[in-house]
Amino acid sequence: DTAVSQTPKYLVTQMGNDKSIKCEQNLGHDTMYWYKQDSKKFLKIMFSYNNKELIINETVPNRFSPKSPDKAHLNLHINSLELGDSAVYFCASSQWGGEDTDTQYFGPGTRLTVL
Amino acid sequence: AQKVTQAQTEISVVEKEDVTLDCVYETRDTTYYLFWYKQPPSGELVFLIRRNSFDEQNEISGRYSWNFQKSTSSFNFTITASQVVDSAVYFCALSVGGGGADGLTFGKGTHLIIQP
């Protein structure tokens, strides 16, 4: 069973379009995250949600909007895509408390290419 | 603010050699967690280990071992008898305690190449 899944795996689109990436976790975790990995492999936190509430919102353009319909899902919607948005986007989840506290498990990533 | 430094951008060794990946971290928090993740060529991020700031015991898991030293703010990772399948980018990461929703601060990664 896949623990953290993302769709789609690849996304190729034109500048100016709006797109969404979906993330689901079946680990029963209470916190979910979005990270961006740039072309140099650098990983940076974008957002985190705890029990459907936004906790972290790093300096990310307003064009990026996370939506968490429930604890198991965290979607990322991007408006007016720009060339610089091309990257790999990773979803992750974790649970506070217990032996595994704060360990983040990552989805397979979504490679976004903006043309 | 937190910071993680992986000074080795790329390491290349011949199979069966031992290799150590360095990680130095900075934080003012007294409660924090340190992690190592592996990113193979297929692109996924694989969790390897988590260490909390109160546990300085070294850990060994098969050919992998980790050395955590608070005195030098380091959390180094050693692979013994390396294999070609160990080739990947390895990331060290840090989170600070206090609620569980903090993001990870990643180092820039070390690209490990194991040559047959």
Task: Give the tens place of pLDDT for each residue, B52-77.
Answer: 898 888 889 999 999 999 999 999 99
pLDDT at A89 over 80: yes
Q: Residues of chain B with pLDDT > 70: what percent?
A: 96
Indicate the DSSP class of residue A9: S
Measured between beta carbons, the chain A residues lying within 8 angstroms of B5 are none
Q: Which are the contacts of A14, defined by CB distance < 8 A and separation ≥ 6?
A: A81, A114, A115
Report the share of chain A in percent with pLDDT over 70. 98
List helix spans (H) across B1-116: none
Mean pLDDT of A58-71: 89
Cβ atoms of B81 and B67 within 8 Å: the answer is: no
The model's pLDDT over A34-53, given as tens digits with 9 standing for 90+, comes to: 999 999 999 999 988 887 78
Chain A, nearest residue to B6 by Cα = A42
Best mutation target among A9, A25, A43 (most B Cβ atoms within 10 Å) is A43
Task: Provide the 3-class DSSP secondary structure of residue A85.
Answer: helix
Choose from A21-35, A43-57, A85-99, B85-99 the range with maximum mean pLDDT.
A21-35
What pLDDT is stored for residue B55 in this prediction?
Answer: 87
A35–chain B Cβ distance below 8 A for any pair: yes
pLDDT tens for each residue of A5-14: 999 999 999 9
Mean pLDDT in chain A? 92
